[in-house]
Amino acid sequence: MMQKSNLPYKYHPYISEYMYSVESGEIRSCKEQKQLMVLVRKTLDDPNVYIDAKAIEDSVKIPEPYFPFKLYAWQRFVNACVYGVRYKDNDRLVWNQILILMGRGGGKNGYGGWHNFYMLSKQFGIDNYHIEWVATSEQQAKTTFQDVRNVIDNPKNSVLKKSFHTTKVLIEHKKNRSHLKYNTSNARTKDGLRPGSVWFDEIHEYEDYKSIKVFRSALGKVKDGRTFYLTTDGYVRGGVLDDMKEKTRMVLSGEVENSKIFPFICKLDSEEEVEDLANWEKANPSIRDNTELFETMKEEWADCQTNIPMHVEFMTKRMNIPKQLFQHKIATYEDILATNQELPDNLHQYQCVGGVDFAELRDFCSVGLLFKVNGKRIWIHHTFIWHEALKMQDINQDIIDIGVGKGLFTIVYDKEIKPERVINWFLEPV
């Protein structure tokens, strides 16, 4: 039976309480959280959408007696949207791809364990609903697996032994045969997988979609397939996380409608906001109820005042404002994205300056033409790469392949990069 709420909202209380706290300013929240409330309201007001109150409340109440913590308001809100929002005409989930981008320490893995326990239970109602955890390291991949196993193996929860079988690599429900496993993110084929849900942990470390495609391609064999992405921000630019952030930006802004992505993003709105400690809950709403975490973060922040690497780490991982050490930083990621513009059709009418960074071996040889058009500087470039240089240096081959495909790179299969090749590049347009 649905709980009653005194809030001025018509939705399930788990949705209404969090939505009110964001929209009323009761808690401080980022732009993406406010946009999410607009998206959720628009979705729930769709006459073809209904709320499954029993599924929502089961997802909270079934694991609750066994776990050493209770869910926060933001977690109950996410549960409601993940399990209880469906289309009337086909009974399918409205959202089946869930991104949780939150500052370090927010309890993402423990919360994932809560989900997993519910998905394995008979009350969830789907047999053989297998759960696959994926991360870049085995230690990270098994974190949530171990959390769930600890709950089941806890002597206080001895009744669970009747329902679950556990080993070091598998947790299985004895009746419905749903199981939980963990994997590292190698992109080898995973033939035979029949997952109900796939969980990708710390996707800020993923440079490409290889492993994601392998595991997600196995979905669809079991009802209510779901994909979860849990992460903080990180240091890999142009990878999976940056791509996901752009996709969710379009969803939250309304540029893309009817998306299956549920983007729960928590971050500061600007770097300057870190100076006011009350803003920290924008990046991590858990600190309102977790004083131990808040005190730890304050200690870290004090250390950041005299330690640049710690400041970079704090901003990137705790506040989800990605930063880099100045000695490594050439341009902001936003500046890099801003360079991706169409070239003017009349560029041939303008004068230009040619530039060469020449190397025969072991390095890239870059050439370019610099134009100035209406106050803008336009740079057309090309890079010649000696084929043996790729073996001598740690270079992301995917980036090389993309550059070659776009005509930006030429791999030189010769003894060296000859000067004539460089000269000809300048002469060809003429």
> What is the per-residue pLDDT across 82-91, written as a single tens digit (0 to 9) for each?
999 999 999 9
Which pLDDT score is estimated for 308?
A: 87
Which pLDDT score is estimated for 327?
A: 46
Q: How high is the mean pLDDT of the chain? A: 91
Q: Determine the Cα–Cα distance for residues 228 and 234; give it in Å rounded to an integer.
A: 18
Which pLDDT score is estimated for 393?
A: 62
Which pLDDT score is estimated for 337?
A: 77
pLDDT at 185 over 80: no
Token code pair at residue 269: 């709105």
Q: Determine the Cα–Cα distance for residues 162 and 179; give it in Å rounded to an integer.
A: 15
Q: How many residues does the chain have?
A: 430
**Of the candidate ranges 57-66, 217-226, 419-428, the one whose mean pLDDT is the lowest:** 419-428
**Contacts (Cβ under 8 Å, ≥6 apart) of 46:** none
Pairing verdict, β 130-135 and 179-184: parallel
Q: pLDDT tens for residues 274-328?
A: 999 999 999 999 999 999 999 999 999 999 998 888 999 999 999 999 986 544 5
Which pLDDT score is estimated for 33?
A: 98
CA 22 to each of CA 139, 211, 274, 324: distance values in angstroms, whole numbers, following the listed order: 35, 35, 19, 31
Which pLDDT score is estimated for 401?
A: 85
What SS3 string covers the chain? CCCCCCCCCCCCHHHHHHHHHHHCCCCCCCHHHHHHHHHHHHHHCCCCEEECHHHHHHHHHCCCCCCCCCCCHHHHHHHHHHHCEEECCCCCECCCEEEEECCCCCCHHHHHHHHHHHHHCHHHCCCCCEEEEEECCHHHHCHHHHHHHHHHHCHHHHHHHHCEEECCCCEEECCCCCEEEEEECCCCCCCCCCEEEEEEECHHHCCCCHHHHHHHCCCCCCCCCEEEEEECCCCCCCCHHHHHHHHHHHHHHCCCCCCCEEEEECCCCCHHHHHCHHHHHHCCHHHHCCHHHHHHHHHHHHHHCCCHHHHHHHHHHHCCCCCCCCCCCCCCHHHHHHCCCCCCCCHHHCCEEEEEECCCCCCEEEEEEEEEECCEEEEEEEEEEECCHHHHCCCCHHHHHHHHHCCCEEEECCCCCCHHHHHHHHHCCC
Average pLDDT over residues 146-172: 96
Which pLDDT score is estimated for 221?
A: 93
pLDDT bracket for residue 383 (50, 70, 90): very high
**Of the candidate ranges 147-156, 201-210, 276-285, the one whose mean pLDDT is the lowest:** 201-210
Q: pLDDT tens for residues 7-66?
A: 667 899 999 999 999 999 999 999 999 999 999 999 999 999 999 999 999 999 999 999
Which pLDDT score is estimated for 226?
A: 98
Pairing verdict, β 409-412 and 130-135: unpaired
CB neighbours of residue 130 within 10 Å: 21
The gap from C-alpha 208 to its chain's centroid, in whole angstroms, comes to 12
Which pLDDT score is estimated for 240?
A: 92
Return the higher-pLDDT residue of 169 and 359. 169
pLDDT at 394 over 60: no
Query: Residue with structure tokens 């970079």?
Result: 312
**Of the candidate ranges 161-170, 283-292, 303-312, 355-364, the one whose mean pLDDT is the lowest:** 355-364
Ordered domains of the chain (ranges, CATH): 13-265 (3.40.50.300), 271-335 (no CATH), 346-427 (no CATH)
Nearest to 43 by CA among 99, 6, 82, 5: 82
CA 384 to each of CA 79, 305, 391, 398: distance values in angstroms, whole numbers, following the listed order: 52, 44, 15, 16
* Percentage of the chain lying above the pLDDT 70 cut: 92
Q: Determine the Cα–Cα distance for residues 134 and 131; give it in Å rounded to an integer.
A: 10
Which pLDDT score is estimated for 125?
A: 95
Which pLDDT score is estimated for 341?
A: 85
Q: Is the pTM of this model over 0.85?
A: no
Contact call for residues 98 and 227 (beta carbons, < 8 A): yes
**Contacts (Cβ under 8 Å, ≥6 apart) of 417:** 358, 359, 360, 361, 365, 384, 386
